[in-house]
């Protein structure tokens, strides 16, 4: 069973704060995907900021989306990212 995305928020540096249906929050870095075909289009901040929840995942206005399992497994725990910022 996978966890569906229920909320997405845009953060700095092409990161997204994702909230899954178990209420877990994770940070997803989109930059590594810029090298994959149409995902390069997301360098445009206006397009990047158009992200929204669509059914159980996220989607941008150019119809790009990512599998919710990929989003969950390729993201970092939200608390861990906060700790790193506090230690800098």
Q: What ranges do the domains of the chain cover?
A: 5-87
Distance CA 6, CA 13 (A): 22
Residue 59: other Cβ atoms inside 10 A:
17
Higher-confidence residue: 85 or 77? 77
Q: Any residues with CB less than 8 A from the CB of 1 and at least 6 apart, and which?
A: none
Residue 48 in tokens: 């990047």
The fold of the 5-87 domain, in CATH, is NE0471 N-terminal domain-like (3.30.2020)
Do residues 28 and 16 lie in contact, with contact meaning Cβ atoms separated by under 8 Å? yes
Residue 60 in tokens: 């941008």
Asked whether the whole model's pTM tops 0.85, one would answer: yes
Confidence tier at 2 by pLDDT (50, 70, 90): confident
* pLDDT, tens only, 23-49: 999 999 999 999 999 999 999 999 999
């Amino acid at each position: 069973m996978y966890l569906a995305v229920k909320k997405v928020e845009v953060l700095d540096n092409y990161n997204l704060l994702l909230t899954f249906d178990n209420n877990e929050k994770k940070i997803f870095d989109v930059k590594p995907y810029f090298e994959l075909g149409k995902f390069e289009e997301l360098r445009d901040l206006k397009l990047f900021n158009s992200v929204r929840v669509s059914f159980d995942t996220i989607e941008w206005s150019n119809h790009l989306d990512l599998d919710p399992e990929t989003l969950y497994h390729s993201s970092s725990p939200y608390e861990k990212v906060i700790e790193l910022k506090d230690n800098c």
